[in-house]
Structure 1
Amino acid sequence: MCICASTMAYLWLIMISVSVVGARDGLFDDDLYQNVLDQELCQEQLGGMRAFEFYDASFRIPQGLLTGNLVNLGNYDQCLRINQETESGRIQGKYCMIGFTGQEEIDIPLLSEQSWSEQLAWRKLNISEITKELTKYELVINKLARLGRVEHTTLWHNSRIFNTVPISLALCMPKTCTVNDVLGPILNNSLVPFGVTEQYCRLPEDKPFSGADYTAIVIFSIIGFITTLSTGYDLYCQFVLKEANKKANKLYCCFSVYTNTNRLMTFTEKSGSLDCLDGMRSLSILWIILGHVYSNYLIIYAINLSEFFEWFGKRRAIWLLSADVAVDTFFTMSGLLLVYTTTNKMTPMKLLKNLHWFYLNRLLRMFPLLACVVLLQASVFFRVTDGPNWWFLGSQCVPQTWYVSVDVQLHILSPLLLFWVLRGRLSAWRSFTIGLVAALTANTVYCFFNDFSDGGDYFKYYYYNTLIRAPPFIIGMIFGYFLHTVRDRKVYMPVTLVITGSLLALFGSSYAMYQEYPEWNNPIIEDLNLSFEKSLWALANCWMIFICVCGYGGPINWFLSLKIWKFVARISYAMYIFHFSIMFMHAGSMTLPFYYSMENIVASAKPPKPEVEPHGSEQTDTTVEIANTDRIDKEDI
């Protein structure tokens, strides 16, 4: 009853959140930008304003041009704080990012070579040479784009290089003006060899309140109120009545912080539990987050972009470039646990009769947190901070939820195999063989008919594709059945078999990681790699799980089964769902370029932000993975 009440409450949250967020027109108030424009008033203000504040908040020549810094962000906060009172009326600042196009060279002031005391001399700097220098890092950027879940074309646009806008500069001006009003007299001069494009503009208070904001306030206030009442009731039963187990109503304690925290932090040994999965799950989610941390630096501005790419182009960065394979670990564990936890509970006919509960159980385990993060992203997260990069977030919602989509689709299709698995061993192995061969064949044909080696449409048609993720899921199901057949039995394996299998697993996992690094310059090899790399990784992970469960894991099993991993494993899904939003908020609020170095990143959790004066319930089973699959009976819903 308790679980049913909680899930129904969250189901209500899901439906309201999706309907309200989906109805939102836009993140920024587009009408506001148009309503404040007034060309005549603009000309008056340009003549009467105190220009230094606007100039001081605008661009200078970017520092570090030779190391790839082709942007100057000006001073975002200072610009939007400008509020001058003049004879022509009140003048407020507007922050715009502009791009210069068409130029091959720019004049920059350099110190004279003869003497430091002499005046500055103007020298020509060839932009095309800088662009050419950065093109050698295209391979690294392709890999980082895959790792960071950032579209290739968007990544290049944000990096201001190649065939997109080569230089982006911040311009502060009165809100009544357009870029052409301010720079038009200069740009109309025939001697000026370049044009200007307006990328975006920002105004103070340009984030309008919407239905999502009011819905978030109401829903989270209700949840907070219920949680307070539930916690108070629970504490009263626990410490006043002191007979909690007899007197406490379990339904009333569903939202209790005290009880749920105890459940989250209580680790008990269970017969048949796969403890090594806790370590694998924890290390995998930490690896994914670490990879996202590094790759997210591409959507903010580095003053030494070329050095950033150069470091990632070296072999020592392979452990970061290959972090995306950790996602396949979760697909593998998901398939493994699906079979391992259901084979001794159900019959084929029981599965068919309870198929609606099978699907509903999966959805209710994943969607409550998903609904929360969607509603938070559309409301609280959107308002908690701001910055010159915030425009980039306008096209983002919760991009990491592609995993949830693929995982749900795989579970929707899983009964096609699971039905035959439940019929008996011969039927199980036949269905596994047919399923795996069909998935790998379709995978290979699909990769050979589509050119993914150059990164084109990689995300849309390969990375997010359910077909590509099916082989690791099926391999996990196969090993889940292996573990079911040896459940509560002592397995004897020759030492040579253990060593040989471990070496092959090491080779397969190393190859799956390493092939992310080089360019083979051979489409056939690259297509084969894309077809089988995830399967090799899944096989390596499954072998390690198998030997750990069977007692041959040694120190590996000891390390992966440490209780320290259980807490991280239980909140791994929440970590995955929420971490991207937190990273985006940080990236969007960066007001100055940062200097990339390993020391800076290791020494702090985030790059230092310039000091600008301010203005004005988780599951508890040991077999829970990133998307929990350990029970399917309707009594557990």
Structure 2
Amino acid sequence: MKIYLIILSLLLCEVIANFENECSNKVLTLINTGKIGYKCSDQLKILCQRHDILFTLWDASSKLIRTGLTAASNYDLGNFDLCMTIDTRINDTKILGKFCPNQWSTLIDEKKLEDFIALLEFSPHSALSTEDGIRKTNKETTSDDSKNITLLGSVCIPDSCSAEEFNAIFRPYLYPVTPVDKVDCVTKYTRRDFTVSDWIIAFALGLVVLIILCCTVVDIFYYYKKEDKINELIVGCSAFSNGRKLFSVNTDKINQIQCMNGLRFLSILWIIAYHTFLTVNFKPLMNQKDFFNWQKQLYSQYILSGYIAVDTFFFLSGFLLTYGYLKQVENKSILQQISGIPSMYLYRYLRLTPALGAMYLVSISFLRLIGNGPLWFHYYDVNQIPCTQNWWRFFLYIQNYYSGEMCYVQTWYLSADMQMFVFSPLVLILIAKYLKKEKKYLIWILICLVLIFVLITVIVPYSSNDFVDNYDTHSRVRKRIKINKVMNIILWIVSLAAMTFVLYCNYYVTEYNHTKLDYTLYSGLYRPIWCTCIFWIVFSCYYGYGGFVNWFLSNSLFQIGGKLSYCMYVLHAMILLISFGSVRSNSYFGDYEMIIVLLGYVNITIILSIFWTLLFEAPMLMLNKKIAGFIGSNRTR
């Protein structure tokens, strides 16, 4: 650490000495040649006299020599908050600190860096004062086995200047740096204004909150007066009544499959954990090599296989859809079932969209005011530009087949789920018609459907060199076959072994020299294998053969978590975006540290999901029931 303190001190002295006598002349010369704008030149003239401000600008910028260059991420974010403290007015000229992340890059040979450090150890002043130090090592011949370190740096500059204009006067780096594709610079006031669309969205969401609040007050008043004569719409929109339902526990084991609550809640936790660890890629790490090594370890699959949990949701959604549909249309003719399809679609759309739409509105408006940091608006725009440009694909649930960027990538699942729901009547009506009479033929038809979609998933990617689609719908269309409960123990062993195989087979196909056939076979088969195992868990738990697994998954706390799972899925990516978009400095990666971070994300997601459920999801459930009752639909979950 001592050597870095010496470097820092000498660099400071060198920077100040370089411009102290020549600064004003340089500024005037460049103004006359037209290389610097008028407003920028006014600020630079002041900086020539105010070394304290200039020092703060430099101090907030990235440094070439910093701790852990060979192990950390290759970009440095400087000190964003220090830059934002610059806000002063001198002689009618206002100066704000403007932070420009990742503005320059340089390539340093690791061997030359070692030579430079050794030179500093013996004669630090000589190494820096003549610009021979690290530049001198650059003239040496690079060996074939040398390693280069690519560095990206950020700068803090006056708000009226560009990075090029500022560097034309003040060049604080003795080692040569080159400009790179720039991330937009920001000040403390960047995009902090409240636009007309923000006011409209605020009014709309505020109106919803006001309605819920009024209904809640009325509901509480009647509840404590012990009067039952209250409008059903008021009760349905009341956070008090909906909150009681949310936190209530249903012990009905006949009409409900209790273990599904545990599967649903544990799956959403697994998905959040998977996405939390993925966000490490967006953060600068002091031990980035450790993260890369962790990804290559077999044991890391406990997190990196979290994407499989989405297929658990697909299974649960399809299972409950079929179960609910068959109960409702038991005595209905095919014509009656067909006539109820439009209202069935309407119910489903109104069931999913309010909570999702509220998240969308918050994301394109207030979210930019919540986060802050050197890369905040960069990450914000990467996510929000597809939302504003492709909003109609987002609300029509078709963006998973669109080749461009998606609005909140995790919502591809909702698109795929909605698409399967749209086509589900083709199979559901067939099942309802032949379930009682032709079970044998029906089972064979469903088996053929499964095989068809498996073959599509294997053949299409294998026959095409450039086919990549991680968000398709067709590879996730599955149906299940009833299994004899007599083979309980054997099937439990087989199911657990198959699930373990699915989790860790991914390690083989990603880390070893697998063939294209290996990858396509795994991609086509792991989903039906996984869903078949999930089916066995549900089937055995429902019929009393689950033992400890059924006891655990049917825990009453999971009922509450299961009710929150949809809003948790919708909201968790926005919470993660606020976190990694607001990053300011290097962090440390480790299992323990990431679990602590994960627990924080989960708790915040649960708390926000409770409010989201009471405001946008629960009231819509009641309204949906009213609509379904009015038009007589075959409503399903």
Establish whether TM, by shorter chain, passes 0.5.
Answer: yes
Give the AA of the match of 2:544.
G
1:424 aligns with 2:434: yes
Q: Cα distance 1:205–1:568, how it changes in 2: closer, same or farther (>3 A)?
A: same
Between 1:409-418 and 1:69-78, the stretch displaced more is 69-78
Give the AA of the match of 1:422.
A
Equivalent runs, 1:333-482 vs 2, <5 Å: 333-346=316-329, 347=332, 348-390=334-376, 391-397=378-384, 398-425=408-435, 426=438, 428-451=442-465, 461-470=468-477, 474-475=478-479, 478-479=480-481, 482=482
> Counterpart of 1:215?
200
Correspondent of 2:58 among 36, 51, 55 = 55
Q: Cα distance 1:498–1:116, how it changes in 2: closer, same or farther (>3 A)?
A: farther
CA contact (8 A) 1:291 1:323 kept: yes
> Counterpart of 1:513?
503
Correspondent of 2:94 among 85, 90, 93 = 90
What is the CA distance between 1:187 and its match in structure 2?
Answer: 8.4
Q: Partner of 1:340: helix, strand, or coil?
A: helix
Give the AA of the match of 1:545.
V
Q: Which has the higher helix share?
A: 2
Q: Distance in 2 between matches of 1:113 and 1:43?
A: 35
Q: Distance in 1 between matches of 2:242 and 2:177?
A: 66
Equivalent runs, 1:514-553 vs 2, <5 Å: 514-518=504-508, 519-553=512-546
> Counterpart of 2:485?
493
CA contact (8 A) 1:447 1:531 kept: no
> Counterpart of 1:8?
none
What is the CA distance between 1:117 and its match in structure 2?
Answer: 9.7
What is the CA distance between 1:635 and its match in structure 2?
Answer: 8.0
Correspondent of 2:234 among 227, 252, 259 = 252
1:591 aligns with 2:569: no
Q: Distance in 2 between matches of 1:231 and 1:51?
A: 56
What is the CA distance between 1:557 and its match in structure 2?
Answer: 1.1
Q: Distance in 2 between matches of 1:570 and 1:318?
A: 28
Q: Cα distance 1:635–1:315, how it changes in 2: closer, same or farther (>3 A)?
A: closer
What is the CA distance between 1:85 and its match in structure 2?
Answer: 2.9
- What is the aligned length? 529
Q: Partner of 1:565: helix, strand, or coil?
A: helix
Q: Distance in 2 between matches of 1:76 and 1:331?
A: 43
> Counterpart of 2:215?
230
CA contact (8 A) 1:101 1:196 kept: yes
Give the AA of the match of 2:382.
S
Q: Cα distance 1:189–1:440, how it changes in 2: closer, same or farther (>3 A)?
A: closer
Q: Distance in 2 between matches of 1:213 and 1:114?
A: 55
Q: Partner of 1:343: helix, strand, or coil?
A: helix
> Counterpart of 2:83?
79
Between 1:106-115 and 1:365-374, the stretch displaced more is 106-115
Q: Partner of 2:446: helix, strand, or coil?
A: helix
1:181 aligns with 2:165: yes
Q: Distance in 2 between matches of 1:131 and 1:230?
A: 72
> Counterpart of 1:296?
279
Q: Distance in 2 between matches of 1:236 and 1:413?
A: 46
Q: Cα distance 1:191–1:354, how it changes in 2: closer, same or farther (>3 A)?
A: closer
What is the CA distance between 1:535 and its match in structure 2?
Answer: 1.5
Q: Distance in 2 between matches of 1:67 and 1:383?
A: 34
- RMSD, aligned CA: 3.6
Q: Cα distance 1:573–1:87, how it changes in 2: closer, same or farther (>3 A)?
A: same
Q: Partner of 1:417: helix, strand, or coil?
A: helix
> Counterpart of 2:156?
172
1:576 aligns with 2:576: no
Q: Cα distance 1:561–1:221, how it changes in 2: closer, same or farther (>3 A)?
A: same
Give the AA of the match of 1:634.
S
Give the AA of the match of 2:422.
I
Give the AA of the match of 1:429.
I
Q: Cα distance 1:188–1:63, how it changes in 2: closer, same or farther (>3 A)?
A: closer
Give the AA of the match of 1:493.
K
Q: Distance in 1 between matches of 2:146 and 2:280?
A: 22
What is the CA distance between 1:255 and its match in structure 2?
Answer: 1.8
Q: Distance in 2 between matches of 1:549 and 1:498?
A: 13
Equivalent runs, 1:552-563 vs 2, <5 Å: 552-563=545-556
Provide TM-score, normalisation by structure 2. 0.75
Paired-residue identity, %: 23
Q: Distance in 1 between matches of 2:522 and 2:290?
A: 29
Q: Distance in 2 between matches of 1:583 and 1:466?
A: 25
Q: Partner of 2:325: helix, strand, or coil?
A: coil
CA contact (8 A) 1:59 1:171 kept: yes
CA contact (8 A) 1:600 1:607 kept: no
Q: Deviations over 1:415-464 (max 9, x none)?
A: 11112111113253244133212211211211212347xxxx7xxx4211
Q: Cα distance 1:182–1:238, how it changes in 2: closer, same or farther (>3 A)?
A: same
Structure 2: where are the runs of 5+ without partners?
Answer: 1-36, 128-132, 385-407, 602-612, 619-627
> Counterpart of 2:394?
none
Between 1:341-350 and 1:276-285, the stretch displaced more is 341-350
Give the AA of the match of 1:360.
L
CA contact (8 A) 2:104 2:177 kept: no
Q: Deviations over 1:38-89 (max 9, x none)?
A: 4544553553443111111111234311113212211112212312333472
Q: Distance in 1 between matches of 2:223 and 2:143?
A: 72
What is the CA distance between 1:606 and its match in structure 2?
Answer: 7.7
Give the AA of the match of 2:219.
D
Q: Cα distance 1:104–1:117, how it changes in 2: closer, same or farther (>3 A)?
A: closer
CA contact (8 A) 2:109 2:146 kept: no
What is the CA distance between 1:321 and its match in structure 2?
Answer: 0.8
Q: Distance in 1 between matches of 2:498 and 2:201?
A: 47
Q: Deviations over 1:165-214 (max 9, x none)?
A: x4221100111111211224688999947454433311222214334411
What is the CA distance between 1:101 and its match in structure 2?
Answer: 4.7
Q: Partner of 1:169: helix, strand, or coil?
A: strand
> Counterpart of 1:66?
70
Correspondent of 2:288 among 286, 294, 305 = 305
Q: Deviations over 1:242-277 (max 9, x none)?
A: 12xx31221222221211111111222333311111
